[in-house]
């Protein structure tokens, strides 16, 4: 038995007994563009930390910011606009030392696979095709992808012509549902959603030029209520580590490190 004690101590020190070190629950408020990527992140994290339960709620970053200010019980905030986590830090509602940029998002123009819209030939100008009666984008009032989409349309000289045809989703996930369901003929979506199997198989897409909209810098932060939550800290560490970064890249996010 005496011989086993040093070995157990060594295993704990090396982090091989992760289930013993990181137990508990993590409540994550996540930008809607993470809907599919985060499912893979969660699965990989829980496999490494079997003692942890992770629950994720998806929505628009602006709405989550307002909810957190009003006391919503989340541990980690993953925002499609890193200014929201920064504001929470300034308000004393998040741990400044935990804040990090986890990715940069990208926009695509997406249409159903059978659409007659000449997407590949015309790119963004395909939105002026008569077959496009409605164009879906996320609500720019509280969805970062909506602000980016509106900025892109303005920069490319399309906004005024398309304004009567615009329909708004509450977040980027609902925007994708509009186009999938036929409620809109085309949509400006997150690349991470367009790369998910359900949308990749059902539609066609082209990337919106990166110089047409402000960078979608996306940030994560540990909220104040989770300062002593080892599981939440472990989740953030996994997301910003090589395992989390590899999954995000697979869904089209731009990750600088590691």
Residue ranges covered by each domain of the chain: 21-104+216-250, 106-212
Predicted confidence at residue 256, as pLDDT, reads: 81
Average confidence (pLDDT) over 231-240: 96
**Which CATH architecture fits 106-212?**
3-Layer(aba) Sandwich (3.40)
Give the pLDDT confidence of 198-230 residue by residue, as tens digits. Answer: 999 999 999 999 999 999 999 999 999 998 899
Percent of the chain with pLDDT strictly greater than 90: 88
**DSSP state, residue 99:** -
Percent of the chain with pLDDT strictly greater than 70: 91
Residue 5 has pLDDT above 90, yes or no: no
Give the pLDDT confidence of 85-97 residue by residue, as tens digits. Answer: 999 999 999 999 9
Q: Residue 258 — pLDDT band, cuts 50, 70, 90?
A: low
**DSSP state, residue 172:** H
Predicted confidence at residue 158, as pLDDT, reads: 98
**DSSP state, residue 151:** H
Same fold, 21-104+216-250 and 106-212: yes
Q: Residue 79 — pLDDT band, cuts 50, 70, 90?
A: very high
Residue 169 has pLDDT above 90, yes or no: yes
Give the pLDDT confidence of 55-77 residue by residue, as tens digits. Answer: 999 999 999 999 999 999 999 99
Closest Cα partner for 224 from 100, 88, 24?
A: 88
Could you give phi then psi for residue 217, rounded to 5 degrees? -75, 125
CATH 3.40.190.10 fits 21-104+216-250, yes or no: yes
Angle at 219 between CA 213 and CA 225, to 5 degrees: 145
Cα–Cα distance measured from residue 242 to residue 250, given in angstroms and rounded to the nearest whole number: 12
């Amino acid at each position: 038995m005496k011989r086993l004690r040093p070995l157990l101590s060594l295993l704990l020190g090396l982090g091989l007994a992760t289930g013993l070190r990181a137990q508990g629950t993590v409540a994550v408020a996540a930008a809607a563009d993470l809907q599919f990527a985060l499912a893979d992140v969660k699965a990989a994290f829980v496999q490494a930390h079997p003692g942890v339960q992770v629950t994720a709620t998806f929505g628009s970053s602006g709405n989550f910011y307002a909810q957190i200010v009003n006391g919503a019980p989340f541990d980690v905030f993953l925002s499609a606009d890193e200014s929201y986590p920064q504001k929470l830090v300034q308000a004393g509602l998040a741990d400044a030392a935990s804040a990090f940029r986890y990715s940069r998002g990208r926009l695509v123009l997406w249409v159903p696979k059978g659409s007659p819209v000449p997407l590949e030939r015309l790119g963004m100008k395909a939105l002026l095709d008569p077959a496009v009666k409605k164009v879906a984008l996320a609500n720019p009032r509280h969805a970062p992808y909506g602000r980016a989409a509106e900025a892109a349309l303005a920069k490319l000289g399309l906004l005024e012509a398309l304004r009567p045809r615009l329909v708004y989703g509450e977040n980027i996930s609902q925007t994708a549902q509009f186009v999938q369901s036929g409620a809109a003929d085309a949509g400006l979506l997150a690349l991470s959603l367009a790369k998910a199997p359900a949308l990749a198989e059902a539609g066609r897409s082209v990337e919106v030029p990166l110089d047409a909209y402000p960078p979608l810098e996306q940030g994560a932060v540990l909220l104040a209520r989770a300062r002593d939550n080892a599981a939440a800290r472990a989740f953030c560490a996994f997301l910003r580590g090589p395992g989390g970064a590899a999954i995000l890249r697979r869904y089209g996010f731009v990750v600088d490190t590691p």
